[in-house]
Amino acid sequence: MVTSTHEASHRLFQEHPEALAPVFEALGLPPPSKQDFDELSPDATEIRPMERRVDTVLRFAPGMGENFLLAIESQTKRDPDKARSWAYYVAYLCAKHDLPVVLVAVCRDRATAEWAMGPFECAVASWPTQTTRPIVLGPQTVPKVTDEATVARRPALAVLSAIVHSDSRRAPDILEVVARGLLSFEPDITKYWFEMVEVGLESTPTRENWRKLMQDVVTHFPGHRTLFEEKYLEGKAEGEAKGEAKGILRVLEVRGVPLSDEVRQRITTCTDLDRLNDWLDRSGTVERAEDLFAPGTDPTELPKDVP
């Protein structure tokens, strides 16, 4: 069954394969660069009624060095059938692309990670015809990110760390460090990574902690008008303004007050919450929609000097 953890793994490794650095470390290879990868079809189905699909398949093709495939599977629990499926994926991909295959299993909890390490053998007596031994990205192998500088330098690995260690007793500390480190990016990039972590943590108690942390981090320096705070407040104000405008139009429509296109546009494009609140208060009593904008009724206008 495809879960949110699967979806987060798809996006993370497909868009940021540099998160596979622990795999390359295990292989004794230098950290990879994003441009050394290209994505292949995950379909491993032959002409038969059973569909087989790997979570993610990447081809590592550096300018110099050995080319190989990475078949990446997200595993949330022990599954005896997966041992057979994984052996099939490796054999099929190797035969189809004529390249060696590294199987990578991503696991959130320690017990599943220990099981996924295998080895899984197809054997008779003491003779193994085929052995499948995944490299596991789990609590035992993915480093705990504990400083913001690492998050800023290697955000993909930091996000993987937050997801993989979500059941750890140090999860709150890791999440806080990751959240603060991600604020070093432009708001749109920060939002992207925040959502990636949230999706990866779905169905875990840690997800609610992350959502609360996102809110706390956004307002950690209230009133300092940081770039992230400004973006957050702008979005919040825009949403409130749209809600107020919708309420004004609804009241006028229910009362049967005619609405011209000009009036409707003026209401829906207004972003001043004080003015919208005043219009909403008076929308239940005005005879004409245009009376909402009558001179002297705008609460944001400065009082005229009294002679």
Per residue in 210-252, pLDDT (tens digit) is 887 777 665 444 454 544 556 556 666 777 788 888 889 988 9
| 8 Å CB contact between 213 and 201 | no
142 in a structural domain: no
248 in a structural domain: yes
- 189 and 123 together in one domain: no
| 13/90 Cα distance (integer angstroms) | 18
* Number of domains observed in the structure of the chain: 3
Q: Report how many helices (DSSP H) and strands (DSSP E) the chain contains, helices first.
A: 12, 7
Q: Is 173 helix (H, G, I), strand (E, B) or coil?
A: helix
Is pLDDT above 50 for 162? yes
pLDDT of residue 49: 41
Q: Which residue has the higher pLDDT, 29 or 231?
A: 29
101 in a structural domain: yes
Domain containing residue 86: 4-137
Predicted TM-score (pTM) of the model is 0.64
298 in a structural domain: no
Mean pLDDT of 111-133: 91
59 in a structural domain: yes
Burial bucket for residue 173 (CB in 10 Å: 0-12, 13-18, 19+): middle
206 in a structural domain: yes
Q: Would you state the structure tokens that stand for residue 123, as one six-digit string?
A: 């054997």
- 61 and 123 together in one domain: yes
Of 87, 113, 137, the residue at which a domain comes to its end is 137
pLDDT tier for residue 133 given thresholds of 50, 70 and 90: very high
Instruction: Dump pLDDT digits (tens) for 75-86.
Output: 888 988 888 889
273 in a structural domain: yes
- 100 and 203 together in one domain: no
207 in a structural domain: yes
pLDDT of residue 218: 54
Q: What are phi and psi of 121, to 5 degrees?
A: -115, 140
- 157 and 255 together in one domain: no
Of 43-52, 170-179, 181-190, the range with the lowest mean pLDDT is 43-52
Residue 118 — left, alpha, or beta (φ > 0 → left; ψ -120 to 50 → alpha)?
Answer: left
- 209 and 248 together in one domain: no
- 125 and 154 together in one domain: no
Instruction: Dump pLDDT digits (tens) for 49-62.
Output: 444 567 888 999 98
pLDDT of residue 68: 94
- 41 and 14 together in one domain: yes
Is pLDDT above 50 for 303? no
Average pLDDT, the chain: 82
- 236 and 286 together in one domain: yes
- 232 and 212 together in one domain: no
- 35 and 95 together in one domain: yes
pLDDT of residue 48: 46
- 18 and 128 together in one domain: yes
